[in-house]
Amino acid sequence: MRPFRFLAEARAVASGRELAESARRAEDMGIDVLVVPDHLIDQLAPIPALATIAAATDRLRIAAFVLNNDLRHPAVLAQELASLDVLSEGRVEVAIGAGWNKPEYDAIGLPYDAARVRQARLAEAITVLKGCFAPGEFSFAGEHYTVTGYDARPKPAQQPHPPLFIGGGGRRTLELAAREAQIVGLAPRLLPGPMGDPASITMAATAEKIGWVREAAGERFAELEFNVYPSMVPLQITDRPLQVAEEHAARIAAASGRPVDAADLLDSPHIFVGTVDSLCEKFQRLRAELGISSIMVGEIDDLAPVVARLAGT
């Protein structure tokens, strides 16, 4: 089994000194990757924030979680990420998605294309990123991007390229991840409105998604790392997990219009509610039964006792 890798999020708008202090604390407590979101909201832009984190630490890996492909041309993004990888001496992970938050698109007048178009653009962007990271000149002619005789510089420290993280809840995106990524993010499916599909966060649905990845990945399946992150319910260490789950089940059912069972929530790979002991047992079960070893634990201190117990195992 793969050892656990824990990701934590640095979301707050903070000074460089404050962000550096948070990054060093994350590194000291056993966090493996410190991530910064990529949204047009009240947060630091990911690239300068990640550069600050890298400069303040020695071992901590860095990533956005996740980059919205529609906000940057992939050749420009490749230069930024390769520069970060050089500056950090090979600690970058490239997490990228097709974009999903329509209000951000609307706010800046960016067309919000159909999912199939955004997914096709993401697939082309990954080809451009890998071409830019590779030695020598690169050309590509796609429906969305055209690159001609471009020798991107600098090249990343990690060759042939930094680890690529692609996540999703639908089959098409997960099959793309199976073919192209080193890290596959397992996400709930999105539904119109404020709530995702509650059925997509269950153990059974997660196993089905891994099956799609296995089928598409073929021989490279054994090389893949699987990630999960908390969704729909805030992380909580509590000695009354069932009561908390019942309260959230009622809320999610009302918002989604779909029945939700509290026991299914507690069992879900995307719900982190319980005692320290039960959460440790849950993560070990996810790894043993589904091969999930990469876990987002919210902000740096949210699951600190769990990370302290499992880091490095």
pLDDT digits (tens, 9 = 90+) for 123-169: 999 999 999 999 999 999 999 999 999 999 999 999 999 999 999 99
pLDDT exceeds 70 at position 188: yes
In Å, how far are 55, 195, 261 from 207, measured between CA atoms?
Answer: 39, 21, 18
Res 82: pLDDT: 98
> What pLDDT score was predicted for residue 149?
98
80-120 pLDDT tens trace: 999 999 999 999 999 999 999 999 999 999 999 999 999 99
What is the structure's pLDDT at 95? 98
Residue 223 has pLDDT above 60, yes or no: yes
Q: Are 231 and 298 in contact (CB under 8 A)?
A: no
Residue among 56, 127, 55, 59 at smallest CA distance from 87: 55
Q: Is 244 exposed, middle or buried (0-12, 13-18, 19+ CB in 10 A)?
A: buried
Q: Which helix (H) or strand (E) segment is 85 a member of?
A: helix 74-87
- The pLDDT, as a whole number, for residue 195 is 57
Q: In the structure, what pLDDT confidence band is assigned to residue 298 with cuts at 50, 70 and 90?
A: very high
Provide, rounded to the nearest whole percent, the portion of the chain with pLDDT above 90.
Answer: 91
DSSP, residue by residue, 254-276 = HHHSS---HHHHHH-TT--EE-H
pLDDT at 74 exceeding the cut of 80: yes
Kindly tell me the burial class for residue 255, based on how many C-beta atoms sit within 10 Å of its own C-beta (0-12, 13-18, 19 or more): middle
Percent of the chain whose predicted confidence (pLDDT) is above 70: 98
Q: Is the pLDDT of residue 6 over 60?
A: yes
Q: Which domains does the chain have, with CATH numbers?
A: 5-232+275-310 (3.20.20.30)
Q: What is the pLDDT of residue 198?
A: 85
SS3 of 93, please?
A: coil
Higher model confidence: residue 192 or residue 240? Answer: 240
Query: Is residue 192 scored above 70 in pLDDT?
Result: no
Tell which wins on pLDDT, 132 or 258: 132
Whether the predicted pLDDT of 221 surpasses 60: yes
pLDDT at residue 191 tops 70:
no
Query: Is residue 155 a contact partner of residue 84, using CB atoms and an 8 Å limit?
Result: no
Look over the chain and give the mean of its residue pLDDT values, rounded to a whole number: 95
